[in-house]
Amino acid sequence: MTTPGVKWIPLDEATLDPNPFVQFERWWEEAVKVVREPETICVATADKSGQPRARMVLLRGRDERGFCFFTNYESAKGHDLEENPKASLLWYVEPLGRQVRIEGAVEKVSPEESDIYFDSRPRGHQIGAHASHQSQVIASRVELQDAVQESERRFEGGEVPRPPHWGGYRVIPHFFEFWQHREDRLHDRVFYTPDASGGWNRQRHQP
Ligand SMILES: Cc1cc2nc3c(=O)[nH]c(=O)nc-3n(C[C@H](O)[C@H](O)[C@H](O)COP(=O)(O)O)c2cc1C
């Protein structure tokens, strides 16, 4: 990594917050100053055969309940999560030489939460959610454009409701890794795992 002018900030167990959610927020606040789209995050799922499958999504919710993204429940990731409701998230902040790995169980967010987010989206995105059968084969771009026009006609003059096959997932973490780039590949890695009293253990791991 060669981002000019950046000094890596060492990870020090003594100054890391005991709560990984709080620590994530600290890194988030620093990332938003240097990254154009910090919401971009990789989510990896696996079907019941164990085949992993990764793709980027946008992180749309973060709080002590977990980390949320929105998608089509009938997509490939939706099918994976139906069979195996677990995921790993990977967030990379190149200018700061940082990555965060999160692993956890996955649940659908409430329909009300999905409605609130869906209603906040631009109309074109809402129409797209109706028109696109995400992850399914389509014969041509023209077929997709026809489906978009059909949805536009259907909702002309009115609001676009959230389709039932579209909504949010929440990853409920049981593991975090905070990774900081250091010179000579001697990176800092600190893992958080739950302790017996409802808090979190912190352990340094080798790079
Ligand atoms: C930067 C970026 C952000 C994306 N955000 C989302 C998202 O929030 N939700 C989503 O369903 N797909 C998003 N996508 C598309 C997914 O990567 C993926 O192509 C799509 O969800 C279908 O994945 P699947 O077939 O594995 O289910 C995004 C892609 C990129 C490159």
Q: Which of 185, 189, 202, 204 is catalytic?
A: 185
Average pLDDT per run of 10 along the chain, which is 207 residues long?
Answer: 68 93 98 97 98 98 97 98 98 97 98 98 98 96 98 97 98 98 95 97 97
Output the CA 72–ligand 1 centroid distance in Å.
9
* Predicted pLDDT of residue 7: 74
* Predicted pLDDT of residue 14: 85
Q: Which atom of ligand 1 is nearest the CA belonging to 78?
A: 27
Which of 43, 53, 55 to mutate for ligand 1's pocket (most ligand atoms within 8 Å of CB)? 55
Q: Whose CA is nearest to atom 30 of ligand 1?
A: 56
Distance set, CA 139 to CA 33, 121, 143, 146, 165 (Å): 42, 28, 7, 12, 22
Query: How many angstroms separate the first and last alpha carbons of the chain?
Result: 16
How far apart (Å, rounded) are the C-alpha atoms in residues 6 and 55? 28
Protein residues whose CB sits closer than 6 Å to any atom of ligand 1: 40, 53, 55-58, 69-72, 75-77, 134-135
Please say whether the beta carbons of 45 and 52 come within 8 A. yes
* Predicted pLDDT of residue 35: 95
Instruction: Please state the separation of Cα 160 from the chain's center in Å.
Output: 25
What CATH number labels 20-121+164-205? Answer: 2.30.110.10
Q: Whose CA is nearest to atom 13 of ligand 1?
A: 57
Task: Please name every residue paired with 202 in a beta bridge, in sequence order, or none if there are none.
Answer: 192
Quick check: is 182 catalytic? no
Q: What is the percentage of the chain residues whose pLDDT exceeds 90?
A: 94
* Predicted pLDDT of residue 6: 66
* Predicted pLDDT of residue 8: 85
Output the CA 56–ligand 1 centroid distance in Å.
5
**What pLDDT, in 10s, does the model give residues 5-63?**
667 899 988 889 999 999 999 999 999 999 999 999 999 999 999 999 999 999 999 99
Q: Whose CA is nearest to atom 28 of ligand 1?
A: 57
The ranges assigned to domains in the chain are: 20-121+164-205
pTM for this one?
0.96
Q: Whose CA is nearest to atom 3 of ligand 1?
A: 57
